[in-house]
């Protein structure tokens, strides 16, 4: 993925638009992260009004979106849900047809739904809008209880900050977990949140994470092949196991074991995609110990076997070197 087009339409939401700029538009070469050719596009170049009383000037029309490796669709106002600009839906449809990535934030999913490319797929949007999407597009399997959904090369995300979760998910897929974690740390956000939108509906938001455990999680990622018990991790953090587990849950929204399991899956995915290592070695390097344990965890997390995943997503040796 080298080129990114961010589609902005009248009535856009500034925060969600900013997420795309932050995730894909900043120069992070000093951290070893490759730059994207990131451009903001709109159907009618010029002043484009936001939804809170100001405008931004956009010079590029939608032409670049027809060439981009990723098309980001920012939120659109409710008044546009049943009358999405046909020029936008055509661009989205063509992006899907040429197998480009398409990522939506919040109500941007309505533009992709209007393009017809979500029919028969699972998708999400902000939990407040999920029932409306179900009524408008009964062909879509709308899941209101997740932060984001990847269906093929279309990623839909829930409201506001969940868009950042979706962006980091795509960056993990394209750049690898190490690069995505570097980007997340620079943003001062957790690299991955477990759970779904239900946690934001049923009870108040948790306290802001301190991310004081970032050095520990960095070390965990570098040592996934070790037996990383809570006692060991707590000792490195100079805490009691109980305090460490409580602090970890507050910072990352999940238990150390669950977070570690997800990181090991990500490492296994990376090795299956980028190397020709045998399953036993992949299991050892990612911390699962044996191929049988890797298979069990992989199937539970991703719904397919490691071999099937490699057959579907593995790159060539030359591509792996280039990455």
DSSP codes, 255-280: -HHHHHHHHHHHHHHHHHHH----HH
Q: What is the pLDDT of residue 5?
A: 98
The answer to whether 8 touches 48, Cβ cutoff 8 Å, is: yes
Q: What is the pLDDT of residue 256?
A: 92
DSSP states of 202-214 as a string?
HSPPPPPP--TTH
Q: Alpha-carbon distance 103 to 94, whole Å? A: 14
Q: What is the pLDDT of residue 257?
A: 92
Q: Is the pLDDT of residue 36 over 80?
A: yes
Q: Indicate the domain borders of the chain.
A: 3-177, 212-323
* Average pLDDT of span 221-226: 91
Q: Is the pLDDT of residue 37 over 60?
A: yes
Q: Alpha-carbon distance 145 to 152, whole Å? A: 19
Q: In this structure, what is the dihedral angle of CA atoms 258, 260, 262, 266, given to the nearest 10 degrees? A: 180
**What does the pLDDT look like over 68-91, one tens digit per residue?**
999 999 999 999 999 999 999 999
Q: Is the pLDDT of residue 204 over 50?
A: no
Better-scored residue on pLDDT, 194 or 280: 280
**What does the pLDDT look like over 102-159, one tens digit per residue?**
999 999 999 999 999 999 999 999 989 999 999 999 999 999 888 899 999 999 999 8
Class of the domain covering 3-177: alpha beta
Q: What is the pLDDT of residue 182?
A: 85
The answer to whether 255 touches 245, Cβ cutoff 8 Å, is: yes
Q: What is the pLDDT of residue 254?
A: 84
Q: Is the pLDDT of residue 206 over 50?
A: no
Q: Alpha-carbon distance 29 to 32, whole Å? A: 5
Q: What is the pLDDT of residue 322?
A: 35
Q: Is the pLDDT of residue 195 over 70?
A: no
Q: In this structure, what is the dihedral angle of CA atoms 318, 103, 93, 78, given to the nearest 10 degrees? A: -170
CATH number given to 212-323: 1.10.10.60
* Average pLDDT of span 267-284: 91
Q: Is the pLDDT of residue 210 over 90?
A: no
């Amino acid at each position: 993925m080298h080129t990114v087009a961010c589609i902005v339409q009248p009535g856009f939401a500034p925060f969600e638009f900013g997420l795309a700029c932050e995730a894909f538009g900043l120069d992070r070469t000093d951290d070893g992260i490759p730059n994207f050719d990131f451009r903001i596009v709109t159907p009618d170049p010029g002043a484009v009004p936001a939804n809170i009383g100001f405008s931004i000037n956009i010079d590029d029309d939608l032409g670049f979106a027809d060439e981009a490796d990723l098309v980001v669709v920012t939120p659109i106002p409710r008044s546009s849900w049943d009358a999405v600009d046909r020029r936008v839906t055509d661009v989205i449809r063509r992006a899907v047809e040429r197998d480009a990535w398409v990522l939506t934030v919040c109500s941007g999913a309505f533009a992709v739904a209007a393009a017809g490319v979500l029919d028969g797929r699972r998708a999400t949007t902000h939990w407040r809008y999920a029932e409306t999407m179900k009524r408008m597009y009964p062909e879509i399997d709308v899941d209101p209880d997740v932060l984001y959904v990847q269906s093929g090369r279309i990623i839909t995300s829930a409201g506001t900050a969940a868009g950042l979760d979706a962006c980091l998910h795509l960056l993990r897929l394209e750049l690898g977990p190490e690069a995505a974690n570097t980007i997340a740390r620079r943003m001062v956000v957790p690299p991955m949140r477990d759970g779904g939108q239900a946690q934001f509906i049923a009870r108040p938001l948790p306290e802001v994470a301190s991310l004081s455990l970032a050095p520990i999680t960095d070390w965990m990622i570098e040592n996934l092949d070790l037996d990383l018990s809570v006692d060991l991790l707590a000792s490195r953090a100079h805490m009691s196991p109980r305090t460490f587990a409580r602090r970890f849950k507050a910072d990352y929204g999940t238990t150390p074991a669950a977070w570690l399991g997800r990181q090991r899956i990500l490492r296994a995915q990376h090795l299956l995609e980028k190397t020709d290592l045998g399953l036993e070695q992949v299991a050892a390097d990612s911390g699962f110990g044996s191929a049988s344990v890797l298979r069990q965890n992989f199937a539970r997390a991703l719904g397919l076997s490691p071999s099937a995943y490699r057959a579907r997503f593995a790159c060539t040796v030359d591509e792996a070197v280039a990455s």
